[in-house]
Amino acid sequence: MEGHVPEPTFTLEGWHILHDFRHLDFPAWRRAPEGERQAAWEELRDILAEWAGVEAAGRGSFGVYQVVTHKADLLFLNLREDLEALLAVEARLNQSRLAAYLRPAYGFYSVVELGSQTGPLDPEAPYVKPRLTPRVPKGGYVCFYPMNKRRQGQDNWYLLPARERAGLMKAHGETGRKYQGKVLQVISGAQGLDDWEWGVDLFSEDPLQFKKIVYEMRFDEVSARFGEFGPFYVGKYLTEEALARFLGVG
């Protein structure tokens, strides 16, 4: 690669994403008067209705999840057209009655991204817009994790020629296509926005598919040589009724 000047990846950007993971202070929540808990629940229902209205208008999407393990209790996942809209989402939840019983667990801000190593993408292509403005499935499970591309010695992703990067990503994509219909994948870019370079959301009706696809992709050269992964968060989608049961209200 001597004398080679690497070319950046061509990207198209779509909706902005906020992963807002929270702990629920269960002892304090249980000690709260029933009227207080009921008022907090009614306000949360209003918030969910607002989010559903945004989704119905085609200006975003959302999901609430119960997270497994001590890493978090709840994930409030929201996609919006821009950062201003996400800031309003975050402020609305932070100013709610329920926020008195929520504690930050983890957060990640990124933007849905489509990339090409070989040339600009056509924003008018029929497959592009649905991938830039994905809808959160209303059921099943989610697996989220942040990741980087390695920059160490000979394994420096950012020094590879575009053609070589394209070949590695093509092979990676072929692995992912084996899970079409089983796993929906949303990739978001976070360079300059958060501590990791990308966020990955996997949605499936079967959480075992997360294990299978991530494990199989580890054998792709692009992951084996260049992949660096952050913490994994897995959760189950909560309908309004399921969320009420989780909170012990309704």
Question: To which residue do tokens 């393990």 refer?
Answer: 69
Over residues 71-127, the pLDDT tens digits come to 999 999 999 999 999 999 999 999 999 999 999 999 999 999 998 777 778 888 888
Single pTM value for the model: 0.94
Domain coordinates of the chain in residue numbers?
Answer: 10-247
- CA of residue 148 relative to chain centroid, distance: 15
Q: Which residues are catalytic?
A: 145
Q: What is the pLDDT of residue 66?
A: 98
List the chain residues with pLDDT less than 50: 1
Per-residue model confidence (pLDDT) at position 1: 47
What is 10-247's CATH superfamily? Apc35880; domain 1 (3.30.70.1030)
